[in-house]
Structure 1
């Protein structure tokens, strides 16, 4: 048996020991810190090296002297057998941690990670439609295949099972779904739920299996030819609905429908003829000023007495429905989209005017693609855009017969 120290510890000595190291024999020591905290330490020699291994707290609420002696006795046997108890303890702790992590990963499904990602990021998504599309596409196409599958087990075959049935029929939807799966799997990897290559990665991976998007039909918004827009605008004058006024205003300003529907009276200055759309409502997250010409101002003045917060109120209060203008066009049997009027405006500007490319692009609030040009351009070409939009308003009020000459007509009564 190991030789006992002459001044072996007692329970009372453990309780009253002063700061320092106090030996009990057989490698067992009581360590008292200046703060009064007490702990047991086992010191041993192995392969010519001295090592200290902590056994736990001592004193009230900790390991008793008797239990510490028993633990030290068990460790002495391991040392005698050539086992390093510290290395053994670390190895067992690592194995336990790995097992716990493996169990956690095995229980974490693709849907779990996707839900966590959406919850963490949807607050930064300005467009409510974008948030809903994330959920809808995952619910419809992704979760039925891999929703309940451990995210660590998602492979290329699973991704292809989701994408291949819709890749040619619904290319835009399929492409967005692929990107969303890739994002969720990247999030899972960052959180330690999976390792290795992302099976939804396009470049260098799925690009070698699926046909490139450039060879697929993108499905652009259907647009009414610009030659037909004046007649269409005249037909809107025959309708008194708010949706008709909103649609004409959308055409005259070449704005996006969401920008028009969400517009409030606080954004417009009728006297100066300026509509300022705040950055948080713009696709490019940058404030955009829109020149308002007489007809656009007249439309707003006709709606001002309604007393709504929004320029174009809905019948039940609040803002106009996002589908109101589209449904109006459907009732008018027009095979085009509201967004397509922006294309009509762009085609007209390119083919019927001499305005510079960047003036028309900035009228549409498009981001300048050239990074260098974007860095140096500080203004918004507002005066030039006002002249452009004035010509567009004249064209929309014309009979559309002449391309080089537009014939203005009087605006409709405000009533």
Structure 2
């Protein structure tokens, strides 16, 4: 077959085929018509190390036959001069990485491949790193810029996030060094002592008096601590589930008529499905949430315009922190309406649940299964019984006691 024409290109595309078709135009240029998808131009050439190589030049709709030939001729000239057009293209793409955010955009896809929850570093970069250094050129970034980032987070009262941000900065700029875009890592000299400090193992659990104070204060300040947040905290104390398990819950996971919540393995930290018994008081709160959801698939739908259809991962902690007089990103801080009560986080509510279960006399192995903890040692190997009815009795007793505080 001779050289292609505009008419033959159109005819070949229209004809298509069950398999991908390649039609030669000459000088290494091919028209590629896939079984499905957009037709494109492809160049075949032999590299300097005598290997056959292929590279896509562009889609037919974006690149005419004449321009495809011109592009192919330009690339073949590079081949004759001893250059590999594919390598040249990769270098050109690297040269387009000029700012810190450009580097992040190149780095982030590697996290998606290897991390179970890549949204966490994405959130920290977007909210806490990019606003300070995202637009700075890589050849101008300094250690002082990194200090600005971690100081801003530490000063907002989030030492754990400061440590995480420093770790992500180190990984990000190491990626830049791999690509030969940086001679050194501006974050390498910093340690967690410069950020949030050494994190102590937490053992904070709220007493019944503190729970009374918290729910009473939250109800008094419903304008800033909404009803959804209020009920979410109540459910966390009464069920002992993890924050993400509750905030991302869908109604199709529940059998409300049977008083059961079937947490799927895809959303469970243990990667094992788990059935949670629901006390009568918990069911009443869920029924209220269903009404408030206006038909949403989610128990806690997002109340703001955002990409996430459900309650965000920071929503509850930010709402709690605001009651204690701290609001991230605000120069004028709100009043501390919690008095001298020590600050607590959402995860402390899960620990509070476990403590209250022990206080009411629930056996340890039942309480551990209430929190979806795997039983340890020999007991965990041989005891495959899930204690559903025992857990139902324990959680019913807990919810009945806490309902007086919550309601």
Give the TM-score normalised by the residue count of structure 2: 0.53
Instruction: Find the aligned partners of 1:224 and 1:274 in 2 and give their Cα distance.
Output: 27
CA contact (8 A) 1:188 1:194 kept: yes
CA contact (8 A) 2:138 2:181 kept: no
Instruction: Find the aligned partners of 1:388 and 1:374 in 2 and give their Cα distance.
Output: 20
- Show the counterpart of 1:176: 164
- Report the Cα offset of residue 338 of structure 1: 4.3
**Counterpart mapping for 1:132-143 below 5 A:** 132-143=123-134
CA distance change for structure 1 residues 377 and 141 in 2, over 3 Å: closer, same or farther?
farther
**Counterpart mapping for 1:262-277 below 5 A:** 262-277=248-263
- Show the counterpart of 1:360: 367
CA distance change for structure 1 residues 394 and 177 in 2, over 3 Å: closer, same or farther?
same
- Show the counterpart of 1:408: none
98, 102, 108: which is aligned to 1:118? 108
**Structure 1 residues 361-402: Cα deviation after superposition (integer angstroms, max 9, x where no partner):** 44334577x799878876655444333323322331468xxx
- Show the counterpart of 2:23: none
1:276 alignment partner, SS class = strand
CA contact (8 A) 1:168 1:216 kept: no
CA distance change for structure 1 residues 193 and 254 in 2, over 3 Å: closer, same or farther?
same
Over alpha carbons, which structure has the higher Rg? Answer: 1
137, 158, 174: which is aligned to 1:148? 137
1:211 alignment partner, SS class = coil
- Report the Cα offset of residue 132 of structure 1: 2.5
**Counterpart mapping for 1:185-200 below 5 A:** 185-188=173-176, 192-193=179-180, 200=187
**Structure 1 residues 197-236: Cα deviation after superposition (integer angstroms, max 9, x where no partner):** 96756xxx755xx639896466969764244436766898
Structure 2 alignment gaps of length 5 or more:
1-25, 27-47, 51-80, 324-334
CA distance change for structure 1 residues 333 and 159 in 2, over 3 Å: closer, same or farther?
closer
- Show the counterpart of 2:38: none
- Report the Cα offset of residue 297 of structure 1: 1.7
Instruction: Find the aligned partners of 2:125 and 2:133 in 1 and give their Cα distance.
Output: 11
**Structure 1 residues 265-303: Cα deviation after superposition (integer angstroms, max 9, x where no partner):** 211112332112234434555433322111112323345
Structure 1 alignment gaps of length 5 or more:
1-36, 38-52, 56-91, 400-410
Instruction: Find the aligned partners of 1:223 and 1:284 in 2 and give their Cα distance.
Output: 23
**Counterpart mapping for 1:50-89 below 5 A:** none
- Report the Cα offset of residue 245 of structure 1: 3.8
**Structure 1 residues 3-29: Cα deviation after superposition (integer angstroms, max 9, x where no partner):** xxxxxxxxxxxxxxxxxxxxxxxxxxx
1:271 alignment partner, SS class = helix
Give the TM-score normalised by the residue count of structure 1: 0.52
Aligned residues: 302
- Show the counterpart of 2:282: 296
